[in-house]
Amino acid sequence: MTSAIDLCNQALYTIGEQTTIQSFQDGSPAANACATLYQPKLDALFRAAPWGFATKQIFLSQVRAVQIDGELTDDPPPQPWLYEYLYPSDCIRARFILPNFLPTSSSGAVPMTTLNNVSYWNVRGWQGQPLPYKIALDTDPTEDNDIKVILTNIFQAQMVYTKRVDDPNLFDPQFINAAATYLGVWLVNALGRNAQSFRDQIALSMDIIKQARSDDGNEGTLTVDNSPDWIRIRGGGGPTAEMANFGWYDRLEWPGGQLL
C-alpha cells in the first residue's frame, strides 16, 4: 500500500535526505515542505501527460443552452456557443470533447452526429476532427458563486479528461517514480539549496518522466490511419479522436524555468 506520505518519503530519499516524515503535520521542515509542495506539484504532473490510469470519460451536465425543446431560452451561454456544461469537479486537465454517439430514433429525428443513425456501430470508432470547446467562468443559478464551465456547440457532449486521482495505490508504478523525482526537485531548494544536487535531480527527473510518458502512451491498442483531410471530412478514415488529441498535454516546469 502506498500513501501520500510514502510518496513524499521516496522524494526525500531521491535527494539524499536520511530522515522521513510521519505526517504532513509532524512539525519537521521536511513535513512542512511536503505539505506545501505535494498537491500542486502532483497536479502539474497529472497535466503533463494523458496518463492512462487517470483517464475518465463522462457525459457533461448541461448548465445553459441556446434552445431547449426547440424554444430559444432567456439565459443562453455566451456567444457564439450553443451549450454550456459544468466542468467536472475531479477534472485536472480537459483533453477533448466527443459528440453523443447514442443512436436516435428512426422517426425522422435529426441525428446527433453528422453520420446516419444506422451507423451507430461505426461511430463507436469515431474518426472525426477535434471538436471546438472553451473553458470559462460563470455563476451558479443563485448567481452567488462562481463556477467553472465548458462552452461548446455539441449537444449532449461527452468529455475525455485527466482525473485527479487522490489514492496513490491507483497510480501507475512509473508515475510514482516520476512523481517522487519531480517532487524531489522542488524539495532540494526547500530543504538545502545545494546547486549540484539540484541539477542532478532535474536531470534524473527529466529522464524518468520522459520514459514514463513514452511507456504510458504505448500501453494499449492503437490504430494509426493517415487518410487525407478530404476523406476525413466526409466522415470516414483519419485518426480517431483519441489519436488526434492524445498528445495534448502541458509542458512541465522546473525551478529556474527549465521546461519539458
Give per-residue pLDDT as tens, 127-155.
566 789 999 999 887 778 999 999 999 99
- For range 197-215, the mean pLDDT: 93
- For range 223-234, the mean pLDDT: 51
- For range 37-45, the mean pLDDT: 96
Dist CA 51 CA 217 (whole Å): 8
Higher confidence at residue 256 or residue 235?
256
| Whether the bond into 80 is cis, omega within 30 of 0 | yes
Q: Which H/E stretch holds residue 152?
A: strand 146-152
Provide, rounded to the nearest whole percent, the portion of the chain with pLDDT above 70: 77
Q: What are phi and psi of 172, to 5 degrees?
A: -65, 145
Band of pLDDT at residue 258, cut at 50, 70 and 90: low
Parse the chain into domains and list their residue ranges: 4-51+172-220, 55-163
Q: Is residue 86 classed exposed, middle or buried when 0-12, 13-18 and 19+ CB atoms within 10 A define those classes?
A: middle
Higher confidence at residue 218 or residue 242?
218
Q: What is residue 83's three-state secondary structure? A: strand
| From 6-20, 54-68, 92-106, the region with the lowest mean pLDDT | 92-106
Dist CA 202 CA 216 (whole Å): 21
